[in-house]
Structure 1
Amino acid sequence: MAALVDRFGRSFPYLRLSLTEACNYRCSYCLPDGYHADGRPRFLELDEIRRLVRGFAAVGMSKIRLTGGEPTLRKDLLDIMSTVAAVPGIRRIAITTNGTHLPRHVAAWREAGLTALNVSLDSLDPERFREITGHDRFAEVTEGVEMALGLGFDSVKLNAVLLRGRNDDELPGWFEYLRGRDVAVRFIELMRTGDNLEFFERHHVRAEALEEQIAAAGWTQRPRAPDAGPAREYSHPDYKGRIGIIAPYSKDFCAGCNRLRVTARGDLRLCLFGDFGIGLRHLLQSDDDFDALVARITTQLGLKAAGHGLHQGETGLTPHLASIGG
């Protein structure tokens, strides 16, 4: 079945599903004070996730990315992966993780059906990594990445949030890292959220500045796959790895949007920075509600806007990226 198409002609083969809002890091740009539970209803359970993914697969979704918070904090993560992998029509299952559990679990995730891996690695310097994340886990994360590269994943990608004065001078080190590794690093422009205005104003740097340096070093832009994320990806004949740029403040960024989001509590979000959520959880309690779930997904897509309001300082419902999975 063809993917969902909105009124602007954009198709949506890709769902980002948050499994939890909890995180075990204290990243300066997201949760500097750590995660604090709010006592609201529990996160989606396994049967609810199965019904949700079946519904999205029925309208053409073929790629699912498991996000958080930190999704590896879910004790039933392996069951979730195998359940999602068993849904007809789902061809790719990815996860975005901070990587602390990689050395112990990445082989089991691959066995359970995981096909792609994204790992947060904001710096190649262990001390800078500790300062940004609040944790001294650099050795475990990088060890896990090396393990993952030998497990046959479709892709292994590293995410680095660009921060002025903290990691925006590391491009030469990344070039060396990518020389012999089949991995993509994606530099993500810092985004303003509901609670980070002061930090944003101090550390925001435009991604295009880094992109100019990459182009000057001989890297060329690659074609974008239909179910790819938002990165503009670059390659170089002298390097095995690749570089991606995610620049949400760039012109026409939203024109290529191809993904929807569901929060850990079952709300459909049409945009990361949208100002409303569409409740789906009441339709995930029984297999008998399958047709109603599919109808709600398809009809609500008509509300998706042409673009976000970040340029106007509008951050919508998103207080921080851990709340919806970035």
Structure 2
Amino acid sequence: MLRSSPSLDSASKRVPHRGALVDRFGRVHRDLRISLTDRCSLRCTYCMPAEGVPWLAKGNILTTDELERVARVAASLGITEVRLTGGEPLLRPDVVDVVRRMARIEGEQGPLEVSMTTNALRLPQLAGELAAAGLARVNISIDTLRPERFAELTRRDRLDDVLDGIDAARTAGFDPIKLNAVPMRGVNDDELVDLLRFAVARGAELRFIEQMPLDAGHVWSRVEMVRGEEILKRLSAAFRLTPIGERGAAPAERFLVDDGPATVGVIASVTAPFCGACDRVRLTADGQLRNCLFAREESDLLALLRGDADDDAIAELMRRCITGKRAGHGIDDEGFLQPDRPMSAIGG
């Protein structure tokens, strides 16, 4: 019999700590990425084909009660941050309620920090409500500042909506606002300096991300990828970049721009992986737990959530999933195989 989910009041109470999520290599996991949907309002060429991909069955998408239950158990195991992703998380009709319920969950270190990665198209309508519900931070994807190029890259003429979304995030008081850009050779790699100037002018932190082998068409090429060191070389021709120092478990290597306070980050997931300090675990919209973005194995939480399993069983599955985590993503291994799921189905 499916257990009924607790009310908001009971969800906000502290849950007893049951032991941290620690893998075989001593990495303590504190960051849970939760995909709210695999659907997206854009069709970025490096993510999915023009016609989209087969969507997950609606009946398999986790309900808000189920999401809340997983987050409560995760908080009891030492998770301190929940990042809501997609697809595009703002397409979920009850996204504000999801944020509100997540933000009221407390672990041993206090309330969960709730953040979101979004394409910003719906932020003009939702930014204020999300902030009031407890959303702490937003990461916004923007790969180009040129309308024609944006339309070609995303197959949608929506750049003005993204820019309005960034302004809405600023008005709502989100801080910091991080802008994510994926440089692609011959596509947008001539805009690196322009993108950084745009971010600095708006008090946002730009983060350049190496293109990763997570496209639905499996056409990613290491040769064509713009490497992190190349990104820094191009930026250094226009700005004075000063390394900030140790990044801990953060994915970005950060730099002061022209002595600050503005910063820029480079996430070189392929050429300079940060696997040794990774503290992330991912939950797909259909209830599959993944211990690595590039994992080819998943742990089925959906079956437990819709069966008669108690919270201890859910916690045990989480621990087993993390125990099986490999030392690294293995992109440089000769036998590396790209995950079957595209990024839109895994969740960033």
Q: Fold-level match, TM-score > 0.5?
A: yes
Out of 200, 225, 247, the position equivalent to 2:221 is: 200
Distance in 1 separating the partners of 2:223 and 2:42: 21
Helix, strand or coil at the partner of 1:265: coil
Distance in 2 separating the partners of 1:50 and 1:286: 16
Offset at residue 288 of structure 1 (A): 6.5
Q: Which amino acid aligns with 2:47?
A: C
Out of 245, 255, 268, the position equivalent to 1:234 is: 255
**Pairwise mapping of residues 151-166 of structure 1 onto structure 2 (< 5 A)?**
151-166=172-187
User: Could you list the per-position Cα deviations for residues 65-115 of structure 1 after superposition, in whole angstroms to 9, with x for gaps in the alignment?
Assistant: 001111111101111111111111243111111111011111111111100
Tell me if structure 1 keeps the 8 A contact 2:104–2:112. no
User: Could you list the per-position Cα deviations for residues 265-320 of structure 1 after superposition, in whole angstroms to 9, with x for gaps in the alignment?
Assistant: 11110111111000112332489611111122123311000001222362443432
Output the TM-score relative to the length of structure 2.
0.86
**Pairwise mapping of residues 242-281 of structure 1 onto structure 2 (< 5 A)?**
242-281=263-302
Distance in 1 separating the partners of 2:324 and 2:290: 10
**Pairwise mapping of residues 5-20 of structure 1 onto structure 2 (< 5 A)?**
5-20=22-37
* 1:73 aligned partner: 91
Helix, strand or coil at the partner of 1:107: helix
Q: Which amino acid aligns with 1:13?
A: R
Distance in 2 separating the partners of 1:317 and 1:41: 23
Distance in 2 separating the partners of 1:220 and 1:195: 36
Tell me if structure 2 keeps the 8 A contact 1:93–1:113. yes
Tell me if structure 2 keeps the 8 A contact 1:180–1:239. no
* 1:292 aligned partner: 313
* 1:42 aligned partner: 60
* 2:346 aligned partner: 324
* 2:40 aligned partner: 23
Tell me if structure 1 keeps the 8 A contact 2:45–2:154. yes
Tell me if structure 1 keeps the 8 A contact 2:48–2:217. no
- CA distance 1:141–1:306, shift in 2 (3 Å): same
Helix, strand or coil at the partner of 1:245: strand
The reply on whether 1:85 has 2:103 as its aligned counterpart is: yes
Helix, strand or coil at the partner of 2:314: helix
User: Could you list the per-position Cα deviations for residues 19-78 of structure 1 after superposition, in whole angstroms to 9, with x for gaps in the alignment?
Assistant: 111112110001122243254743100110011000100000010000111111110111
Instruction: Name structure 1 gaps, 5 residues minimum.
Output: none
Helix, strand or coil at the partner of 2:182: strand
Q: Which amino acid aligns with 1:63?
A: E
Distance in 2 separating the partners of 1:72 and 1:50: 17
Instruction: Name structure 2 gaps, 5 residues minimum.
Output: 1-16
- CA distance 1:136–1:212, shift in 2 (3 Å): same
Q: Which amino acid aligns with 1:82?
A: R
The reply on whether 1:308 has 2:329 as its aligned counterpart is: yes
Q: Which amino acid aligns with 1:27?
A: C
Tell me if structure 2 keeps the 8 A contact 1:194–1:315. no
Distance in 2 separating the partners of 1:142 and 1:6: 40
Tell me if structure 1 keeps the 8 A contact 2:36–2:84. yes
- CA distance 1:195–1:179, shift in 2 (3 Å): closer
Helix, strand or coil at the partner of 2:60: coil
Once the two structures are aligned, what percentage of the paired residues are identical? 38
* 2:191 aligned partner: 170
Q: Which amino acid aligns with 2:133?
A: A
Distance in 2 separating the partners of 1:182 and 1:277: 38
Is 33-42 or 315-324 further displaced after alignment?
A: 33-42
Out of 136, 147, 150, the position equivalent to 1:129 is: 150
Tell me if structure 1 keeps the 8 A contact 2:90–2:118. yes
- CA distance 1:224–1:123, shift in 2 (3 Å): farther
Offset at residue 169 of structure 1 (A): 1.3
- CA distance 1:220–1:315, shift in 2 (3 Å): farther
**Pairwise mapping of residues 104-143 of structure 1 onto structure 2 (< 5 A)?**
104-143=125-164
Distance in 2 separating the partners of 1:100 and 1:194: 22
Q: Which amino acid aligns with 2:228?
A: A
User: Could you list the per-position Cα deviations for residues 154-175 of structure 1 after superposition, in whole angstroms to 9, with x for gaps in the alignment?
Assistant: 3211111111011111122123
Distance in 1 separating the partners of 2:209 and 2:281: 19
Distance in 2 separating the partners of 1:224 and 1:290: 36
Offset at residue 16 of structure 1 (A): 0.4
- CA distance 1:258–1:223, shift in 2 (3 Å): farther
Q: Which amino acid aligns with 1:30?
A: C
Is 38-47 or 111-120 further displaced after alignment?
A: 38-47
Offset at residue 4 of structure 1 (A): 2.4
Tell me if structure 2 keeps the 8 A contact 1:283–1:290. no
Tell me if structure 2 keeps the 8 A contact 1:222–1:235. yes
Q: How many residues align?
A: 325
